[in-house]
């Protein structure tokens, strides 16, 4: 216990304690103000971070919507591409069918060409082919072709028309004798055989005397269909022939009108009186072979046109598919770009949230410090008030033995309590230190890892995983279909080769 010899000595001691308390209060006030300013600044900083976090989360939502819209575009383009591939597949099948049909008709053309070839001398056949090639190459406008190619007749009259014309069916009709001379010179030059030409400028067919009664006979020329340009050539070959129902009628009309006559079966009466008849093998019909050849050529030309139209459609579908594939690839690239932006925004949000949490932790530490300073200030105020109260009181007399013993006991208790207080304060400081270490580890490691896992789960959502899987499945399916289509085309091509 502090003992004073006088009031003045005591007051000097108490005044020094008052000064010490006031100094401590002043220091406490400065520290309190500084901590309050720190807390105030941290409040502003945390509020700004919260505002920024809300904006970033809003932007993240917009970015996610953009990713979803691009995914819808990919789905749309993929569906359109599938439809185009189905359309193209149908065109492929149709084209394959036309190729087979073309092959069949080409075989028919070869058959009809062979049949026609066998109805004439091989040298004549070679000469006709060479003349056609030469006329097409030199673009000779006055070349009209063999007579057989310049008219049409009903099938029922084919036998009598063919019998009437004979080899004249293969005489070549031209516009002028000069044209004939050019072609003849070429045949001589290439040694391609001999042909008979019918220059229209040199033909002078006479006007026949047809009977007026058409019930017994009909002029053969009237049953033929041809261009008026070739009228002279047709009259030259068919103009002096009548088609009659019987050979007897033909003989009578031949004598009376000076014309040749022929029945539908091919029995002839010459105007000079000669009769010709017998069996005719219709399987070796020249006109029939030519008609078959002409029909096959016409059908092949039509099939070629159809194939060209189909191939144009296939090419168009290929272009549409290429465009859609480009749009799909572009959309996927855009989605990857947006996805990278989305991930970066998530990382920015994570870092900002971490920084905010650190600031909040710092604020809590400062708030704890502020509470301690306020408690300290209250203790100092109470101590100052107690000293001031003692300073205002008179000095007490010398203590008796009983009071002295009590004072000594209380002083000893106070010393022991202060020692325990120091020990407890040290233990508390150590515990707070461990607490801060654990909190720091939690915020910097465990909480960080938990946030990373949450973001990873968020970024790799079930929807997106399903979408990627669906994309791979679609691409695999499309490739399988294309490979299957090509396999079919290869098989068909191999069949064609066989």
Give the rounded percent of residues in the chain with a pLDDT score beyond 90: 60
SS3 content of the chain, % helix, strand, coil (to 5): 80, 5, 15
Report residue 252 as tokens.
């009578």
> How far, rounded to the nearest angstrom, does the alpha carbon of residue 484 sit from its chain's CA centroid?
19
Q: How far is it, in rounded angstroms, from Cα 141 to Cα 121?
A: 27
C-beta of residue 268 within 8 angstroms of C-beta of residue 163: yes
Report residue 481 as tokens.
């279909």
Region 182-210: what's the mean pLDDT? 93
C-beta of residue 310 within 8 angstroms of C-beta of residue 91: yes
Beta bridge partners of 198: 173
Region 194-201: what's the mean pLDDT? 95
**Surface-to-core class of residue 467, CB atoms within 10 Å of its CB (0-12 exposed, 13-18 middle, 19+ buried):** middle
- pLDDT exceeds cutoff 70 at 482: no
Q: Provide the pLDDT confidence category of residue 98 given band limits of 50, 70 and 90.
A: very high
> How far, rounded to the nearest angstrom, does the alpha carbon of residue 181 sit from its chain's CA centroid?
63
Least confident of 359-368, 410-419, 468-477: 468-477
Across all residues in the chain, what is the average pLDDT?
85
Q: Provide the pLDDT confidence category of residue 82 given band limits of 50, 70 and 90.
A: very high
- pLDDT exceeds cutoff 70 at 428: no
Q: How far is it, in rounded angstroms, from Cα 124 to Cα 218?
A: 32
Least confident of 217-231, 321-335, 379-393, 446-460: 446-460
The CA R_g of the chain, rounded to the nearest whole Å, is 59
Give the rounded percent of residues in the chain with a pLDDT score beyond 70: 80
C-beta of residue 49 within 8 angstroms of C-beta of residue 356: yes
* pTM to 2 decimal places: 0.58
Q: How far is it, in rounded angstroms, from Cα 123 to Cα 193?
A: 6
Region 258-274: what's the mean pLDDT? 89
Please give the backbone phi and psi of residue 60, each rounded to the nearest 5 degrees, phi first.
-65, -40
Scan for tokens 């088609």, then name that residue.
243
pLDDT of residue 494: 55
Q: How far is it, in rounded angstroms, from Cα 254 to Cα 239?
A: 14
Q: What are 400-409's pLDDT values in tens digits?
A: 567 667 766 7
Q: Provide the pLDDT confidence category of residue 424 given band limits of 50, 70 and 90.
A: confident
Q: Which residues contact 31 (CB under 8 A, 6 or more apart)?
A: 373
pLDDT of residue 299: 94
pLDDT of residue 201: 95
pLDDT of residue 392: 81
pLDDT of residue 497: 45
């Amino acid at each position: 216990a502090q003992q004073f010899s006088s009031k003045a000595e005591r007051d000097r001691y108490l005044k020094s304690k008052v000064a010490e308390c006031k100094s401590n209060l002043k220091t406490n006030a400065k520290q309190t103000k500084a901590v309050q300013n720190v807390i105030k600044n941290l409040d502003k900083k945390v509020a700004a971070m919260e505002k920024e976090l809300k904006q970033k989360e809003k932007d993240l939502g917009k970015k996610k919507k953009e990713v979803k819209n691009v995914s819808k575009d990919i789905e749309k383009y993929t569906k359109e591409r599938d439809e185009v591939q189905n359309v193209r597949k149908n065109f492929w099948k149709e084209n394959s069918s036309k190729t087979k049909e073309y092959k069949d008709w080409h075989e028919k053309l070869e058959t009809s060409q062979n049949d026609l070839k066998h109805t004439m001398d091989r040298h004549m056949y070679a000469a006709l082919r060479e003349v056609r090639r030469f006329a097409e190459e030199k673009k000779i406008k006055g070349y009209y072709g063999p007579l057989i190619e310049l008219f049409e007749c009903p099938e029922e009259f084919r036998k009598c028309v063919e019998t009437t014309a004979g080899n004249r069916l293969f005489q070549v009709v031209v516009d002028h004798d000069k044209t004939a001379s050019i072609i003849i010179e070429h045949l001589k030059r290439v040694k391609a055989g001999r042909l008979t030409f019918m220059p229209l400028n040199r033909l002078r067919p006479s006007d026949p005397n047809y009977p007026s009664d058409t019930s017994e006979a009909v002029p053969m020329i009237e049953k033929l269909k041809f261009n008026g340009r070739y009228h002279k050539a047709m009259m030259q070959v068919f103009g002096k022939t009548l088609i009659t129902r019987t050979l007897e009628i033909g003989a009578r009309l031949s004598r009376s009108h000076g014309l040749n006559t022929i029945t539908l079966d091919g029995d002839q009466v010459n105007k000079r009186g000669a009769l010709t008849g017998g069996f005719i093998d219709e399987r070796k019909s020249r006109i029939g072979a030519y008609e078959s050849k002409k029909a096959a050529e016409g059908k092949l030309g039509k099939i070629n046109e159809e194939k060209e139209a189909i191939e144009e459609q296939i090419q168009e579908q290929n272009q549409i598919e290429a465009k859609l594939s480009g749009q799909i690839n572009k959309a996927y690239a855009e989605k990857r770009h947006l996805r990278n932006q989305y991930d970066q925004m998530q990382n920015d949000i994570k870092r900002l949230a971490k920084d905010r949490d650190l600031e909040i932790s710092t604020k809590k530490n400062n708030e704890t410090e502020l509470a301690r300073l306020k408690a300290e200030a209250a203790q100092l105020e109470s101590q100052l008030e107690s000293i001031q109260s003692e300073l205002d009181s008179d000095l007490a007399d010398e203590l008796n033995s009983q009071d002295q013993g009590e004072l000594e006991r209380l002083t000893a208790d106070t010393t022991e309590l202060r020692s325990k207080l120091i020990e407890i304060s040290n233990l508390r400081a150590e515990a707070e230190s461990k607490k801060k270490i654990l909190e720091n580890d939690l915020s910097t490691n465990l909480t960080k890892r938990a946030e990373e896992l949450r973001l990873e789960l968020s970024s790799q959502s079930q929807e997106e995983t399903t979408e990627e899987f669906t994309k791979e499945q679609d691409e695999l399916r499309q490739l399988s279909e294309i490979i299957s289509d090509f396999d079919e085309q290869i098989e068909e091509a191999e069949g064609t080769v066989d």
